[in-house]
Amino acid sequence: MILAEEVADVQKEAFVREEVRVQKVIGKENVEVQQTVRRKELNVDSDTTPIVNKTNRDSSI
């Protein structure tokens, strides 16, 4: 009686199938905005109690 053994030989190989070109387009947009500008100032005294001063920068409106 003859016994035989089968062994599968599996290999994986990478190859280029198609090429893709990628390009980045940088756009620039300027937007003009008009609003009332406010400013807050925070001063801390030696007792670490916050003192907040609110001032309106655009007082002509």
Establish how many alpha carbons lie within 13 A of residue 10's alpha carbon, considering only the half-sphere containing its beta carbon: 3
Q: Contact, 36 vs 61, CB < 8 A? A: yes
The tally of domains found in the chain comes to 1
pTM over 0.75: no
Whether 2 maps to a domain, the answer reads no
Cα–Cα dist 36/59, whole Å: 9
- Mean pLDDT for all residues in the chain: 78
Whether 21 maps to a domain, the answer reads no
User: Which residues span the domain enclosing 49?
Assistant: 33-61
| DSSP 8-state secondary structure symbol assigned to residue 39 | E
| DSSP 8-state secondary structure symbol assigned to residue 57 | S
Structure confidence by residue, pLDDT tens digits, 12-23: 998 888 888 999
Whether 41 maps to a domain, the answer reads yes
